[in-house]
Amino acid sequence: MDQANVDVHQRQDDAPPAVTLRPLGLADADDFMAWASDDRVIRFLKRPLCATREQAVAQIRDTVLGHPWFRAICVAGRPVGQVSVWPYADEGGHRANLGYALARDLWGRGIAAAAISMVVTRVFDELPGLERLEAVTDVENVRPQRVLEKAGFKREGVLRRYIVRRGGEVSDAVIYSFLASESP
């Protein structure tokens, strides 16, 4: 195992590692596979599972490179997850959706909360006109709800029968928001 790998995969009870954000490119396809090919990570997400490296390259090319705001979450300089902000076209850019995912073996160390806390300090400057960042989670997907609360998002309520899961089942969702006026 190389040094970067040792740093990324340190013990779960260590202090939270330093997190950085940067654009994700085609050269990151192997690292991207760590979470994009894992059904435990993407089962609550809309994007399809990448079963092969070729599919990972295609997904980066088709959905990441032209994305208005997509960042790799990095630990020790290596991508271990993703966070994205997608402005709703029909709202003139004042409202956007937050998405995020992290490689399974790094859950529970505060990495996602640290990444999202960084997002809210910069995305309102980087996307002019953005006033409201919102996140919608399946009501049973509790971990990301806790992450949003730790990053300062406000829980606004339950959207009943709102989400269609991968298997076709319809479920309730919880909606959170963070306003530009709340940005540190």
Ligand X SMILES: CC(C)(COP(=O)(O)OP(=O)(O)OC[C@H]1O[C@@H](n2cnc3c(N)ncnc32)[C@H](O)[C@@H]1OP(=O)(O)O)[C@@H](O)C(=O)NCCC(=O)NCCS
Give whichever of 121 and 129 is closer to ligand X, judged by the CB atom.
121
Q: Is 68 in the site for ligand X (CB under 6 A)?
A: no
109 binding ligand X? (CB under 6 A): yes
Residues in 4-43 at the binding interface with ligand X, rule: CB under 6 A? 41
CB of 27 to ligand X, least distance (A): 22
Binding status of residue 111 toward ligand X by CB under 6 A: yes
What six digits make up the tokens of 85?
């902000």
Name the CA radius of gyration of the chain, rounded. 16
Question: Could you tell me the two tokens for 120?
Answer: 């809210």
Contact between 144 and ligand X per CB under 6 A: yes
Determine the Cα–Cα distance for residues 177 and 49; give it in Å rounded to an integer. Answer: 27
- Longest Cα–Cα distance of the chain, Å, equals 47
- Asked if 166 is part of the footprint of ligand X (rule: CB under 6 A), the reply reads no
Site string for ligand X, 69-108 (x = CB under 6 A): -------------------------------xxx----xx
Q: According to CB under 6 A, which one of 143, 154, 155, 165 is a site residue for ligand X?
A: 143
- Give CA–CA dist 28/15, Å, rounded: 26
Which three-class secondary structure state does DSSP give residue 130?
Answer: coil
Could you give the CA distance from residue 145 to residue 149 in angstroms, rounded to a whole number? 6
In whole angstroms, what is the distance from residue 42 CA to residue 59 CA? 14
- Which residues make up the interface to ligand X (CB under 6 A)? 41, 44-45, 100-102, 107-113, 135, 137, 141-144, 146-147, 150
